[in-house]
Structure 1
Amino acid sequence: MKEFRLIELPKINDVRGNLTFLENNAQIPFKIQRVFWTYDVSGGEIRGGHAFFKQHELIIALSGSFDVVVTDKAGNETKISLNRSYYGLLIPAKTWRHMENFSTNSLGLHVSSEKFDENDYIRNFEQYQILN
């Protein structure tokens, strides 16, 4: 993966309720190593604010909505609103981002290519800017 991109996940429509799924190497270009979710985020709070050296990630708003703001090394921002559970944002390694504008009761699912490793985090934007 070279650039972040929004992907549409499979959606099976049914009068009883819809179903969406994802599978390794089908909808996402990496093997799933970790899954976590964000929830109960208070109004006005920001989550994230970092990049990863190795980890690729897929972020899905399972319920409610929030914005993912991707910032390039020059400081230019692109805002992607996630508000449908059948869309996900693929974010490659070395991509600076944060999440904001959480709706009440929003639930964000994060699917990652790596197990948790604090040393994989880039938490300083100036350090991020000088990466290759």
Structure 2
Amino acid sequence: MDYRLMRMEVKVDARGKLVSLEGLKNIPFAIKRFYYMYDTIPDKERGFHAHRELEQLVIAIDGACEFVLDDGRSRDSVWLNRPDVGLYIGKKMWREMRNFSYGCKLMVLASDYYDESEYIRDYAMFLKEVL
């Protein structure tokens, strides 16, 4: 499956901690879009889509949530709960997000600009495309 957890380098000094994210350096793609989610609600689920060509890196900068990732052959569950660990999600990976902690904040870096035609929002169609 085309995903992995990536530990970010943390700079620490007496003032606190800092994580720097740089496209094509510690992020495996050029960053063309950045967005974030906040005020998430624990019993509400999100996602339920895949992207044809888009790559993403998701970081829980505060709180936690579960990602269910699916490549059409198998499904894995991954918890994001640290601001120094990112979840890289490659192309054609179905994702579902659930079990948000109150106030979870997710930051997402994407390899391309928003394009609705890039989304696969129907699971049956996703399976047709990947299998």
Normalising TM by the smaller chain, what interval?
over 0.9
Tell me what 1:106 maps to.
Answer: 104
**Under a length normalisation based on structure 2, what TM-score does the superposition of the two structures give?**
0.94
Tell me what 1:84 maps to.
Answer: 82
Tell me what 1:70 maps to.
Answer: 69
Q: String of CA shifts for 1:66-123, please: whole Å, max 9, x gaps.
A: 111102314x321111111010000011000011111111100010001000000000
Cα contact 2:50–2:93 (8 A) shared by 1: yes
Task: Name segments (4+ residues, structure 1) moved above 6 Å.
Answer: none
Tell me what 1:21 maps to.
Answer: 20
**Under a length normalisation based on structure 1, what TM-score does the superposition of the two structures give?**
0.93
Tell me what 1:55 maps to.
Answer: 54
SS of residue matched to 1:32: coil
Distance 2:72 2:78 in 1: 18
Residue identity (%): 34
Tell me what 1:123 maps to.
Answer: 121
Structure 2, unmatched stretches of 5+, are: none
RMSD: 1.2
Tell me what 2:29 maps to.
Answer: 30
Deviates more, 1:8-17 or 1:111-120: 8-17
